[in-house]
Amino acid sequence: MPRRPRDLTVRSVSEFSTLFEPKGELYNTRLLWYRGEDRLRPSGALLPSIARRPSRLRDEWAIYQRFRQNAAAFVPHTSLTPWDWMLYMRHYGQHTRLLDWSESALVALYFAVERADRSPGVVWCLDPLRLNELAGHGARVHCAGIDTELDQYTTEAVKLSSAKADFKPVALIAPRSFPRLVAQQGVFTVTHRTRTALDQIPDATLLRRIRIPASAKPSMRDSLKTLGMGRLSLYPELQSLTGAD
């Protein structure tokens, strides 16, 4: 297995930004997507919620059925595609095979330092073009619901396909149907039938990881707030008004 690049460590927002400036370690790389996590997980945990232990992958169809049953009264009265349903489920916190990423490094950093506790925060940097090359799609990113190359990843397609059918994880964009997705510049990866952790894919160029020591999280969070990045800016919804920074 190729050796993964060493972790980077930052202790301030300015130090984080320097990584993307000329002579920085992440400057002038290919397209990168970012995911912020407020705690350092063990190896093999870079998975969508439905695949984390205890895995609920076998229950996916039942989860999907129940969501559609109970959501019918609350969604727009239009015909929704299977991808629309998956995105609604992810948006409202239901377990799916989608994993959230952002096109903004600062958005990911906010989520990495949002919780001031004793655990280090992490920003994952993903090369989505490389992920799709490894999946056999070439160096391109398809759009869910528009490009048919992704249709085999929907809940309905997985249910109807042969138990032997399996596809590698891919990176995708999707219609940003919610203000939160726009604010967070949301993009996604999706797995198929197999529980495949992105950080266990044997490719040294796929991922980089930036660590934020727990002691640095409060000051970095304050710096982001000063720069105008807080809960209300990333969750532009009425519910955020009472809990805004």
- DSSP assignments along 153-165, one per residue: GSHHHHHHS-TT-
Per-residue pLDDT, averaged over 66-87, amounts to 91
Cα Rg of the chain, angstroms? 18
C-alpha angle with apex 133: 163 to 210, nearest 5 degrees? 105
Q: Which of 199, 202, 144, 134 is nearest to 168 (CA)?
A: 134
Average pLDDT, the chain: 93
201 or 115, which is more confident: 201
Task: Judge contact between 142 and 172, C-beta under 8 A.
Answer: yes
Task: Judge contact between 101 and 35, C-beta under 8 A.
Answer: yes
Longest dimension (CA), the chain: 53
Per-residue pLDDT, averaged over 93-121, amounts to 95
pTM of the model: 0.94
* Percentage of residues of the chain with pLDDT beyond 70: 97
| Dihedral pair phi/psi, residue 206, rounded to 5° | -75, -40
pLDDT digits over 140-171, tens only?
A: 999 999 999 999 999 999 999 887 888 999 99
**Which residues are CB-neighbours of 187 under 8 A, at least 6 positions away?**
33, 101, 102, 103, 128, 171, 172, 173, 174
**Which residues are CB-neighbours of 73 under 8 A, at least 6 positions away?**
none
In the block, which residue shows the tokens 């297995």? Answer: 1
In this prediction, residue 57 carries a pLDDT of 94
DSSP 64: H
Is pLDDT of 204 > 60? yes
In this prediction, residue 34 carries a pLDDT of 98
Tell me the two tokens of residue 76: 């727009």
